[in-house]
Amino acid sequence: MKRFEIDKRRNVVIVGHGGSGKTSLSEAILFDTKMTDRLGRVEEGNTVMDYDSDEIKRGNSISSACGHSVYKDYKINIIDTPGFADFIGDVICASKVADITLTVICGVNGIEVGTEKTWGFSKDKSKA
């Protein structure tokens, strides 16, 4: 694997309410950038990011997961965080290493409590 200098690395943390599509977005990024050869689906239990048996059984993330992609000359570390309040500690920890956060908002339910909380962490760190 190619080595990237520190100034050519970016940490992108994906946050939002539980079930808003964070893992699906992460999977799409990995697939579209040719880091995986298939598009993982949460419903089918075959995602790269939700690999723990409890996550597969529940159908949602219970801990942060990291994947990476390459864009131009940059290595992009993608950190998929859990969205439910029980696991907010992972969001806080991931936010500390973020260069930028992507907030995913559910197209059906709109802005929810988890969206506002995670947005707050990003805004507090000036990474929103």
Name the CATH topology of 6-124: Rossmann fold (3.40.50)
Tokens for 1? 């694997």
> What tens digit of pLDDT does each residue of 15-46 get?
999 999 999 999 999 999 999 999 999 999 99
- Per-residue pLDDT tens listing for the chain (128 residues): 789 999 999 999 999 999 999 999 999 999 999 999 999 999 999 999 999 999 999 999 999 999 999 999 999 999 999 999 899 999 999 999 999 999 999 999 999 988 888 887 776 665 55
The radius of gyration of the chain from alpha carbons, rounded to an integer in Å, stands at 14
Tokens for 53? 């048996």
